[in-house]
């Protein structure tokens, strides 16, 4: 296993402001069209009107193209403790793993397609990098509001593509911090850090927050552990919108008032995440599943809007089928639910929850964001 420790810093000279909430989807536009699940590119904007055929792509006029792809993540535990002020005061800990649901950015000097509306995240990243003359197209293979950290994956992909365009060699930590700074400084959407780090590093992570630092533990997984996680971690998309800004503000305000229920819950979430990282490193998926189940019992105490009837229905059916534990992913209040099945009981748990949402196949993403330059029409590779 590799450990990396670094001071938090961004590519730009401006430091991120203190966060006040978990970051929601920052792509902009109608959530129904903002992200597509069929791989269609979004050129800094939403899908064109169905009554109007999209204009021919200007991609063939590009002289250079850079592509970047970043993974999303499953957060086993510790979410909310990576969000300031908690992360900077008592300090937080998150255990997560990157998965092969990707945000992909295509950056080029082709003329912008005026039939496409602008996406605030793309515009903000281009503006911050001083490359507003470029065009960024974005697509994803995960649903909107899934709680998989998709907006952060898109931000990290943009950061990596822009760094490659400039010829800069940028470490994963700096990519993660730059991506978050775009959300905080440019868009005014404050949030935690775990999603950006998962997208930048890939693999399984134990992230410690505190004292102005983010310490990154890259957790080595054996082939057997990877296989078990991919078989036994079942992800169900409920189709509900995720937690509201009002809920997030309510949790953080309660912490700042030092309300005992919220402070106790956050402390327990941090401790459980530390235990998860230990069990994950040992390959003990049974213990991990039980810890995930306990985590949800504390997570739901943070605010009454965090659990929903749909989430509870998935978890109840999974438990009845023998699941070891489960929780809503992300800040919750909707999105995806993670269920950990017992060895040999995967099919039974899948069958039990299938009627309550869309099952998303996931695999471990062993590497974080990567970039490449495909050949352009009429040019060389």
Cis peptide before 85 (omega within 30 of 0): yes
The three-state DSSP-derived secondary structure of 193-259 is: CHHHHHHHHCCEEEEEEECCEEEEEEECCCHHHHHHHHHHEEEEECCCCCCCHHHHHHHHHHHHCCC
The CATH number of the domain holding residue 267 is 3.30.230.120
Q: 306 lies in a domain? A: yes
Q: 55 lies in a domain? A: no
pTM of the predicted model over 0.75: yes
CA distance 28 to 144: 11
Residue 360 structural domain: 2-46+62-369
Give me the average pLDDT of each 10-residue run along the chain (381 residues).
34 32 37 32 34 40 92 97 93 98 95 76 95 93 90 97 96 97 87 94 98 94 98 95 76 95 98 98 98 98 94 98 97 92 98 96 97 77 41
Q: 185 lies in a domain? A: yes
CA distance 191 to 92: 14
Residue 101: CA count within 13 A, CB half-sphere = 25
Report how many domains make up the chain: 1
Q: Check: CB of residue 116 under 8 Å from CB of residue 330.
A: no
CA distance 279 to 276: 5
Q: 186 lies in a domain? A: yes
Predicted confidence at residue 36, as pLDDT, reads 33
Q: 257 lies in a domain? A: yes
Predicted confidence at residue 248, as pLDDT, reads 81
Q: Check: CB of residue 289 under 8 Å from CB of residue 338.
A: no
Q: 90 lies in a domain? A: yes
Q: Check: CB of residue 338 under 8 Å from CB of residue 344.
A: no
Q: 56 lies in a domain? A: no
Q: 314 lies in a domain? A: yes
Predicted confidence at residue 54, as pLDDT, reads 35
């Amino acid at each position: 296993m590799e450990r990396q420790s670094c001071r938090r810093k961004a590519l730009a000279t401006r430091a991120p402001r203190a966060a006040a909430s978990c970051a929601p989807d920052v792509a902009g536009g109608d959530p129904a069209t903002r992200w597509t699940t069929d791989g269609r590119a979004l050129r800094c904007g939403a899908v064109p009107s169905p009554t109007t055929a999209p204009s021919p792509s200007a991609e063939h006029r590009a002289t250079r193209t850079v592509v970047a792809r970043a993974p999303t993540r499953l957060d086993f535990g510790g979410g909310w403790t990576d969000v300031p002020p908690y992360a900077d005061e008592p300090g937080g800990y998150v255990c997560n793993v990157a998965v092969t649901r990707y945000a992909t950015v295509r950056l080029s000097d082709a003329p912008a397609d005026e039939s496409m509306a602008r996406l605030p995240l793309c515009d903000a990243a281009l503006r911050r990098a001083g490359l507003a003359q470029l065009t960024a197209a974005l697509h994803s293979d995960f649903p909107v509001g899934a709680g998989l950290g998709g907006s952060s994956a898109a931000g990290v992909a943009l950061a990596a593509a822009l760094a490659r365009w400039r010829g800069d060699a940028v470490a994963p930590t700096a990519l993660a911090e730059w991506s978050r700074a775009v959300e905080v400084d440019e868009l005014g959407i404050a949030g935690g850090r775990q999603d950006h780090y998962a997208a930048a590093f890939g693999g399984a992570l134990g992230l410690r927050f505190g004292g102005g630092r983010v310490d990154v533990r890259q957790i080595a997984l054996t082939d057997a552990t990877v296989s078990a996680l991919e078989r036994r971690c079942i992800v169900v998309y409920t189709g509900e919108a995720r937690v509201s800004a009002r809920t997030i503000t309510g949790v953080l305000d309660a912490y700042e008032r030092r309300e005992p229920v919220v402070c106790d819950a956050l402390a327990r979430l941090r401790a459980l995440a530390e235990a998860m990282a230990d069990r994950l490193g040992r390959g003990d998926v049974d213990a991990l599943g039980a810890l995930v189940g306990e985590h949800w019992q504390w997570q739901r105490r943070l605010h009454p809007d965090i659990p929903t009837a749909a989430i509870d229905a998935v978890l109840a059916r999974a438990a009845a089928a023998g699941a070891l534990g489960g929780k809503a992913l992300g800040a919750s209040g909707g999105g995806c639910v993670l269920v950990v099945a017992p060895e040999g009981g995967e099919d039974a748990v899948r069958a039990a929850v299938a009627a309550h949402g869309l099952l998303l196949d996931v695999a471990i993403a062993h590497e974080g964001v990567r970039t490449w330059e495909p050949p352009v029409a009429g040019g060389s590779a």
